[in-house]
Amino acid sequence: MALPSSGAISIKDVFNETYTDDYTDGDEPTGTQVGIGYSSLTTLSDWADNGQGGGGLAAWTTYSGNGSAPHSLSEFHGGNRGSGSGGFPRT
């Protein structure tokens, strides 16, 4: 389910889109997930743009980031991991 194309979104919304392909999901990142970048805009932006090879995640099907820091939540407006993009390890 794609993130809204406008309006407020949170790092938790981006995490849930990345983790479950549903930004409205109620999952919270575990300590291990936070440690490997699940709550970092820089890391989430890189994964959305390029995928995460070690975790088996392809790049998002829709993502408007420019690949340059500083990253912002607005880069994720309308973003969609897409169900065909593989999944993150559930650590």
Residue 32 resides in a domain: yes
| Each residue's pLDDT tens digit, 31-75 | 887 887 778 888 888 888 877 766 666 778 888 887 778 888 998
- Give a yes or no: residue 66 inside a domain: yes
Domain presence at residue 4: no
Instruction: Name 62's bridge partners.
Output: 80
Q: Is residue 56 part of a domain?
A: yes
For residue 5, being part of any structural domain is answered with: no
Is-contact 77 4, C-beta < 8 A? yes
Asked if pLDDT for residue 87 goes beyond 50, the answer is: no
**Has residue 69 been placed in a domain?**
yes
pTM: 0.78
Q: How many domains does the chain have?
A: 1
In this prediction, residue 89 carries a pLDDT of 40
Domain annotation covers residue 6:
no
Is 2 contained in some domain?
Answer: no
Terminal Cα-to-Cα distance of the chain (whole angstroms): 22
What pLDDT does residue 54 have? 62
State which residues form the domain around 21: 11-85
43-62 CB burial, b ≥16 within 10 A, e <16: ebbbbbbebbeeeebebbee
